[in-house]
Amino acid sequence: MIIKALDSLGGLLFGREKYRRGHYKLAKRLAARQRYEVYKPHLIWLTDPEFIAARDMAEQRGIEGSPYDRCFTLMTSARMVRNIPGNFAECGVRYGKSSLFLLTGAGAQSTKRLHIFDSFQGLSEPSDADVQSGGKSEWSKGDLAVPQDIVRQNLSAFGDRVDLHKGWIPDRFNDVADQEFSLVHVDVDLYEPTLASVEFFYPRVKPGGVIICDDYGSGDCPGAKKAIDEFFADKPENVLSLTSGQSIVIKA
């Protein structure tokens, strides 16, 4: 309340844009002291109209999840594969924030369906591969659980373009065994379900399609990187590691 009032006053006194830039400079200076990075305000992804509309929808509906730089990667990847045949798949949905950006990127007229695979009971049991260098795992079984009905409601704006497959990965993958895919988003945090996801979907992704792993560059998710590196070690594609923490593979 007080901060909102200060923002309005600052905008009136200095002009809205100058006031915003002042915030950026302050944030940048504070971040630099701890060697963090702050995105520059003139980057065009921050002003992309579809991105802004999707962000507004997520915020109005109170949908939490992936940070917005990752959401933009998903949206722009979905745009990139608009002309590649095949549906979308997402392994690990939580509240549906990443799904919202995938569906937005596909385009309002798209006939591509998004097949979502999730336990809706949170994470499975972490394995030894999910233990960080300090000897502990960030995760426990059941973390990040969100009920299926909430996800259905959060994604209701996309009508019947979404199919929810409830179960432990890979139990429900057979539901789509005969389908082709142009985009697969893997965001399950752990080694075993990440490996099972890429093993199943890789042969079903069309050339030019993409496989994105949300957790590849996250220090909290060492098992996800291990699964991706192991799987692609003998494949013709290379793994592109992004500053957002995601990885992308474009199918050859």
Ligand X SMILES: C[S@@+](CC[C@H](N)C(=O)[O-])C[C@H]1O[C@@H](n2cnc3c(N)ncnc32)[C@H](O)[C@@H]1O
User: For residue 203, is the peptide bond before it cis, meaning its omega torsion is within 30 degrees of 0?
Assistant: no
Q: Which of residues 135-154 bind ligand X (CB under 6 A)?
A: 144-146
In whole angstroms, the minimum distance from the beta carbon of 184 to ligand X comes to 12
Q: What amino acid is encoded at 33 in this protein? A: R
Among 54, 55, 65, 164, binds ligand X (CB under 6 A): 65
CB nearer to ligand X: pick between 169 and 228: 169
Residue nearest to ligand X (CB): 65
CB nearer to ligand X: pick between 81 and 102: 102
Q: Can residue 11 be called a binding residue for ligand X (CB under 6 A)?
A: no
Q: Can residue 123 be called a binding residue for ligand X (CB under 6 A)?
A: yes
Reference 213, options 204, 203, 193, 233; nearest CA is 193
Query: How many alpha carbons fall within 13 Å on the CB side of residue 47?
Result: 5
CB nearer to ligand X: pick between 78 and 190: 190
CB nearer to ligand X: pick between 66 and 182: 66
Q: Can residue 187 be called a binding residue for ligand X (CB under 6 A)?
A: yes
In the sheet with 162-166, reading across from the earlier edge strand, the strands are 162-166, 114-118, 87-91, 181-186, 205-213, 247-250, 240-241
CA distances from 220 to 33, 69, 90, 134, 185 (A): 23, 18, 20, 11, 18
Reference 146, options 93, 197, 97; nearest CA is 93
What is the DSSP code (8-state) at residue 164? E
Among 55, 66, 130, 231, binds ligand X (CB under 6 A): 66
Long-range contacts of 22-30 (CB under 8 A, 24+ apart): none
Q: Can residue 26 be called a binding residue for ligand X (CB under 6 A)?
A: no
Q: Which of residues 188-227 bind ligand X (CB under 6 A)?
A: 188-190, 193
Q: Which of residues 67-96 bind ligand X (CB under 6 A)?
A: 92-95
In whole angstroms, the minimum distance from the beta carbon of 249 to ligand X comes to 17
CA distance linking residue 229 with residue 147, whole number of Å: 31
# chain residues binding ligand X, by CB under 6 A: 23
Binding site for ligand X (CB under 6 A): 65-66, 92-95, 97-98, 118-119, 122-124, 144-146, 168-169, 187-190, 193
